[in-house]
Amino acid sequence: MLQAMQAAGFVGVEEAGGVIYARTYAAVPEFTVTPEGPQWRFAIAWPLRASEAQRAAWNAQHPDAPLDVDLGETRMQFLGGAEDLARWADLVESMVANCTTWRRETRQMDEGM
């Protein structure tokens, strides 16, 4: 998986204790890839507590990559393999866009990002 992720263009790919850490690109938080049986569990968290309604809407559209709240942050998980790396990158991009929009919706007009 490590070599497949490097070949696919993920950045900062490294392994520690059986867990792979990487980023889709430098400005996005690090995600983890952990072996789980014949598949791999991809997981990323964003520093935002998405509401139940936001998570439910996302989960209805992305049942294979559900959102939950873990340690106060919105987390997305996905089971897949090396053949799913492009799908994972697309999911991360969509999650980041949604979380950014949700964060902006909580801000007052005169409050910084």
Q: What is the pLDDT of residues 87-105, one digit of tens each?
A: 999 999 999 999 998 888 7
Higher pLDDT, 104 or 51: 51
| pLDDT at 112 exceeding the cut of 70 | no
pLDDT of residue 73: 94
Mean pLDDT of the chain: 92
What value does the mean pLDDT take over residues 7-19?
96
Which strands, in side-by-side order, build the sheet including 67-70? 11-16, 19-23, 31-36, 39-46, 73-80, 67-70
- Reported as a pLDDT band with limits 50, 70 and 90, residue 26 is confident
| pLDDT at 109 exceeding the cut of 60 | no
H helix count then E strand count, the chain: 3, 6
pLDDT of residue 27: 87
Q: Does domain 2-105 have CATH number 3.30.1460.10?
A: yes
